[in-house]
Amino acid sequence: MSETTTPAEREATETYGTADLAGETLRVKPVGQWRPSYLRALRQGDYDTWATGVLHEEDVIKFVEADATFDEINEFTAAAMETTGETPGKSGARSTSSRSTRKR
């Protein structure tokens, strides 16, 4: 996108999945648009950093204010990943070959 694109124009072209947390529906970017640092933050339990990177900017405050439990956050992130095309635990990386490459 060009640098002259307004935030409203960028938002109109972005797609978001949704998931519910503490009675609020939050918008989440598709997993393919997440940066590795956001996934790392999620894995390390740095939920505020993760939320800042992957949620719609208007929903970040809702996420922080919800002050959800770990169980609620885990359910939310699993649902968010599922609605944006990725299932939890599924890797986008190539799977290893089932054939051994070791010489015998």
pLDDT tens digits along 31-86: 889 899 999 999 999 999 999 999 999 999 999 999 999 999 999 989 988 887 76
Decide if 86 contacts 31 (C-beta within 8 A).
Answer: yes
Residue 38 within a domain: yes
- Measured CA to CA, the distance from residue 41 to residue 51 in angstroms comes to 9
Residue 25 lies in a domain: yes
Domain that holds residue 44: 7-83
Look at residue 17 and tell me if it is in a domain.
yes
Is residue 68, in this structure, part of any structural domain at all?
yes
CA distance 14 to 5: 13
Q: Would you call 46 exposed, middle or buried from its count of C-beta atoms within 10 A (0-12, 13-18, 19+)?
A: middle
pTM attached to this predicted model: 0.68
Domains of the chain: total: 1
103 phi and psi angles, rounded to 5 deg: -75, 145
71-97 tens-digit pLDDT: 999 999 899 888 877 655 544 444 444
